[in-house]
Structure 1
Amino acid sequence: METTSNREGIFDGAWWPRSRDIASQLPRLIDALVARLGPIARIGLDASAWDDAPGHLVIGGRTVRIDWSAVDDSTMIVTRGDQDHFAFLVIPPQASAAAARAAMAMAVQDGNCTPAEQILMGGGIIPASHHRVDADMEAAPMVSPSEPALPGRHT
């Protein structure tokens, strides 16, 4: 995890979890954030990027609330206090190491104003939400469209 030296860009840091299992991936990140930023009150995540969506996790003896959204924006919001928020780019687990490193480096450049999807796709990384849609389409049964009605004919 890296955080920017100032808070003028879109992202304050970046995170590359290695799976879509939030319970196995989030504790190490929270431990690193607490060591660097102090106590974390809540985390905001994109529900489409994860297999489960628990309302909270107990990490290091503290309960961390997880707020879920369906914005598909490859970001995470870390809240330390009422008015103290940090935005992180979330790299999908399937990204290659080289692409993940390049995306994280770009996200944490001082003054970077490039949106998450542009950072990811610019590095050849398909955002997690796109993988979820592809998987859902593969699992959906094939349905043949009905024959269109001819003009002037009622079916």
Structure 2
Amino acid sequence: MSLAPPPPPTSPTAVRLSLAALPSYGRMPRLIDGAWWPYSYDLTSELPKLLAGLPPAWGQIGSVTVNGAAWFPCPGRMLVANQVVRLHLTNHPQAPPTVCLLAPGHGRWDLLVVAPDTPRVEAGRLMASATEGTIVAARGGRAA
């Protein structure tokens, strides 16, 4: 089966995000809740776009954990849409290429991060695989 790449964004600031459907009754929760394909390795520029593109039902994200080795240096917290978001950076080089989003009282979501320099077709395949639940995390390459 050939997977089509994601459609081009409507603007350079559009978030490239693909979310999995909610699990059906009786099914186990997913390990990966979707995929995010940022435009750069600058988390302070990319994170506000990601958070703005999330479903309102996820609530306000208060804490974000990423592989610090995969991103340009960034502060331990930042103001996003008039709310402080705490940034936790793992320092382990083998940390998975994911972003973990925590919203107090709402839950936790883990998204596969597709490296910004990933070719379009490969990014589409990774994003589709993450939303279908057929991969847990990408291997190799530079990812968050």
**Aligned equivalents of 2:49, 2:30: Cα separation in 1:** 25
State the TM-score, normalizing by the size of structure 1.
0.70
Larger radius of gyration: 1
Counterpart among 29, 40, 57 of residue 50 in structure 2: 29
Which sections of structure 2, spanning at least 5 residues, go unmatched? Answer: 1-16, 24-28
User: Does 1:102 find its partner at 2:125?
Assistant: yes
* Aligned position for 1:135: none
**Superposed, which structure 2 residues align to 1:1-155 within 5 Å?**
1-7=17-23, 8-33=29-54, 35-71=56-92, 72-81=95-104, 84-109=107-132, 112=133, 114-118=135-139, 126-128=141-143
The number of equivalent residue pairs is 121
Query: Which structure's relative contact order is higher, taking Cα pairs within 8 Å and 6+ residues apart?
Result: 2
**Aligned equivalents of 1:17, 1:98: Cα separation in 2:** 15
State the TM-score, normalizing by the size of structure 2.
0.75
Which sections of structure 1, spanning at least 5 residues, go unmatched? Answer: 130-155
| Greater helix content | 1
Moved more, 11-20 or 79-88: 79-88
For residues 41-82 of structure 1, the C-alpha deviation after alignment (integer angstroms, 9 at most, x for no partner) is 111111011011310110111111111112431011000126
The answer as to whether partners of 1:39 and 1:80 remain within 8 angstroms in 2 is yes
- Following superposition, which runs of at least 4 residues in structure 1 exceed 3 angstroms of deviation? none
The answer as to whether partners of 1:44 and 1:77 remain within 8 angstroms in 2 is yes
For residues 112-139 of structure 1, the C-alpha deviation after alignment (integer angstroms, 9 at most, x for no partner) is 2533134xx5xxxx2337xxxxxxxxxx
Residue identity over aligned pairs, in percent, reads 26
* Root-mean-square deviation over aligned CA pairs: 2.0
